[in-house]
Structure 1
Amino acid sequence: MKKKYMGAKFVPYGTCSSNTNTGDLCTIAQKYNISLSGMNQAWFKQVVLPFSMRRFPGAFFLQGDSFIVVDKFGKRYACEKDFYQQRGMQMYQNPDRQVVFFVFDKRSRELYPGPIKGLGGPIPGDGVDKDCMVEGSNEEELTKGIKDLLAKVAPDFTLDSNFTSTLQAQIGRFNEYAREGKDPEFGRGDDTAQYCWHILRAKDNKFKNKTMYPIDQKNLRCILLGLSTLDTKGGPRINADGQILGRASDPVEGLYGAGNCVRSSTHFSYPASGATLSNAVLFGFKAGLHAMKPKNKL
């Protein structure tokens, strides 16, 4: 179903939904001519590739300061401290970002491993990093390692021919921003939420902006990030009482829906942590109240 509605190139790596969740309500709705909506939408996150349940299942917040995320061209394309739905959308909307590259250094590897306070690394901890992390004493060496790993996890996805030189220049610019405490390209750390979700200020980071620190270009590391979902959020439309709507937008008597099995009112956005559950709780409660109402007798 993901392949049908989201496109073969964007079938995400892994999901938080159960393996048995295969769209039963959508199948039932189509059988009875009930229209579907928002089938290309999802609650997005990123995961470390290759996907493994041995690692923390989602890169919710990108912890670290001496790191950047670049695309296949070796360029930063957004603020790395954006909320996870935003980062997922940045990948979903651009085929050149089917896989992106979290470039960091030995220092961040030692300071920010594993799921810090449960928020998702994505830097892997000891024992779960052998199949996903590459190292290099310079950008050229790192690029070779990235290509080798890409060939295993996403063989149809290739780097731009100028990736190495572009990455080198990009790291150089970022290091200047880190020392100055200001990111003129993407405003990293300017937003209060970004600043707060970066949980730890490293003890050795005396720069003005705690979300940035110069990357050591002689001790580089990289992990690959792929697109993943918490769940999809399309299906039949509902009204404020959780009633499923037919093609003419009239409620289908006795049929209710709530949560991720119906079209979400949030569209492509993710208002806040827990929004995936709040839709189910709210509209499930509303549906229950409506179903309990006495029906008018003829």
Structure 2
Amino acid sequence: EAASYHITGQKMAQREAEHGDASPTWFVFDADYRRKYPAGPLLPVIPDWFQEGAVQAIMKKAKTIGELAEQIGMEPAALDTTISRFNEYAAKGEDPDFHRGDAAYDKMYGDPSVTPNPCLATIDKGPFYAMPIYPGDIGTNGGLQTDARARVLNEKGKPIAGLYAVGNNAASSMGESYPGAGVTIGPALTFGYIAARDALGVND
């Protein structure tokens, strides 16, 4: 999937709040995908029986879509209909539901050997697989409010002497957005440097 995990996580959280059925969300794929690409901790090339025990415990595998649906708690007819529709559009390189492959950002993460859309391929070669996806936190938009010198501000907006915050301990300089990978690391390094200089009394 080309969508950032920030956007995907928000959608999963929204779905869970509204319907209570998105934790886990299931990543469904076929034998062709299994052979070529990783699926979380499930690595390609390495046989199923040789995967780590924890991976084998969560991996679902079945000869048919119907059997796979039963393993992940779905109605077989519903999953079969969904995949049939997906395959129909994937063969044409189209994704009317999620628009995968429409943006250049998507294509960058796609497989150029797959045509007509590097982000889409049919799910039609058994056995079929499913891996659970759970939402989790790797960063935060919250945290302590700071000034340009990484000093923590009190309720009146004044700096608290000797108290600094950077990284995920500080409110994100990006607000509620997530421009891309490393967006928490860059500010942490920058404001860590600024905080150290300020604490030492070295001001430019």
Determine which of 78, 92, 107 is the counterpart of 2:13.
92
3-state SS of 1:97 partner: coil
2:30 match? 105
Pairwise mapping of residues 182-261 of structure 1 onto structure 2 (< 5 A)? 182-198=94-110, 200-202=111-113, 205=114, 207-216=115-124, 218-261=126-169
More strand by share: 1
Distance between the aligned counterparts of 2:105 and 2:151, measured in 1? 36
Distance between the aligned counterparts of 2:41 and 2:188, measured in 1? 32
**Residue identity matched to 2:89:** Y
Number of residue pairs matched? 191
Instruction: Show structure 2 runs of 5+ residues with no match.
Output: none
Conserved in 2, the CA contact under 8 Å of 1:137 and 1:217? Answer: no
Determine which of 139, 142, 147 is the counterpart of 2:65.
139
Q: Cα distance, 1:218 vs. partner?
A: 4.5
| TM-score, normalisation: structure 2 | 0.83
Conserved in 1, the CA contact under 8 Å of 2:70 and 2:76? Answer: no
Greater Cα shift, 210-219 or 247-256: 210-219
Greater Cα shift, 99-108 or 270-279: 270-279
Instruction: Show structure 1 runs of 5+ residues with no match.
Output: 1-79, 114-120, 148-158
2:92 match? 180
Greater relative contact order, per chain length (Cα 8 Å cut-off, separation 6+): 1
Q: Cα distance, 1:235 vs. partner?
A: 2.3
Distance between the aligned counterparts of 1:219 and 1:165, measured in 2? 18
Percent identity for Structure 1 against Structure 2: 30
Distance between the aligned counterparts of 1:196 and 1:227, measured in 2? 24
Pairwise mapping of residues 115-194 of structure 1 onto structure 2 (< 5 A)? 121-122=39-40, 124-125=42-43, 126=46, 127-128=51-52, 129-147=55-73, 163-194=75-106
Distance between the aligned counterparts of 2:155 and 2:96, measured in 1? 48
**Residue identity matched to 1:93:** Q
Q: Deviations over 1:199-223 (max 9, x none)?
A: x334xx3x31011111116532111
Distance between the aligned counterparts of 2:138 and 2:149, measured in 1? 25
| TM-score, normalisation: structure 1 | 0.58
The 1:236–1:259 alpha-carbon spacing in structure 2 relative to 1, beyond 3 Å, is: same
1:70 match? none
3-state SS of 2:135 partner: strand
Q: CA RMSD in A?
A: 2.2
Q: Deviations over 1:53-109 (max 9, x none)?
A: xxxxxxxxxxxxxxxxxxxxxxxxxxx320122112212233132210001001111
Q: Deviations over 1:190-242 (max 9, x none)?
A: 111111022x334xx3x310111111165321111111222445322111110
Conserved in 1, the CA contact under 8 Å of 2:87 and 2:122? Answer: yes
